Amino acid sequence: MVEKSHTSGFWPSLYEPLRQMGERVAEWVAPASEAAGDDNAYRIAVELPGVAEEDIHLSVEDGVVMLKGEKRTEREDSGETWFFSERQYGSFSRSFRLPPDAEGEKVDAQLKDGVLNITIPKMAPKKQETAKVKIRKD
């Protein structure tokens, strides 16, 4: 006969290496995203369910939008026996190279319902002006 205390000690010890591996994989796996654009702006949507706004760092440098963050675990293991967990925790990062007509200094972002929506306006097209060239007399 197997006692309950022996069984509950078995599962966490079996699960621990899997949990640690899951945290390492979460560091390598970037959040799902999609990018689109229209005549006025480029838009990037990144799925960040369970990530707090204060754990997200968004910046633009040298024409690249850089997103970094961390999804933290908040569970307590006391008194519970975990059999499996498919939730991911850990650090993540994504970067998106901007097209030449993007105004990187005017990036706007909004976090709503676990999705970070990033909007990058496009520069207005430059008007081709005709400049008269003065011809020198020698």
Indicate whether 126 belongs to any domain: no
Indicate whether 130 belongs to any domain: no
CB 48: neighbour CB atoms within 10 A? 21
Confidence of residue 30 (pLDDT cuts 50, 70, 90): confident
State whether residue 16 is helix, strand or coil: helix
Domain that holds residue 38: 4-71+85-121
Indicate whether 132 belongs to any domain: no
**What pLDDT score does 126 carry?**
78
Indicate whether 137 belongs to any domain: no
CA distance 77 to 9: 12
pLDDT at 100 over 70: yes
**What pLDDT score does 5 carry?**
42
The CATH number given to whatever domain includes residue 35 is: 2.60.40.790
Indicate whether 129 belongs to any domain: no
Kindly state the tokens that stand for 67.
């997103």
Kindly state the tokens that stand for 13.
């010890």
CA distance 72 to 51: 7
pLDDT at 122 over 90: yes
Q: Give the Cα-Cα-Cα angle 59, 72, 52 (nearest 5 degrees).
A: 50
Indicate whether 79 belongs to any domain: no
In this structure, are residues 87 and 18 in contact, taking their beta carbons and an 8 Å threshold?
no
Q: Which of the two residues, 4 and 116, has the higher pLDDT score?
A: 116
pLDDT tens-place string over residues 37-93: 999 999 999 999 888 999 999 999 999 999 999 887 665 556 677 676 656 677 888
Total of domains in the chain:
1
Indicate whether 76 belongs to any domain: no
Indicate whether 47 belongs to any domain: yes
Confidence of residue 131 (pLDDT cuts 50, 70, 90): confident
**What pLDDT score does 74 carry?**
63
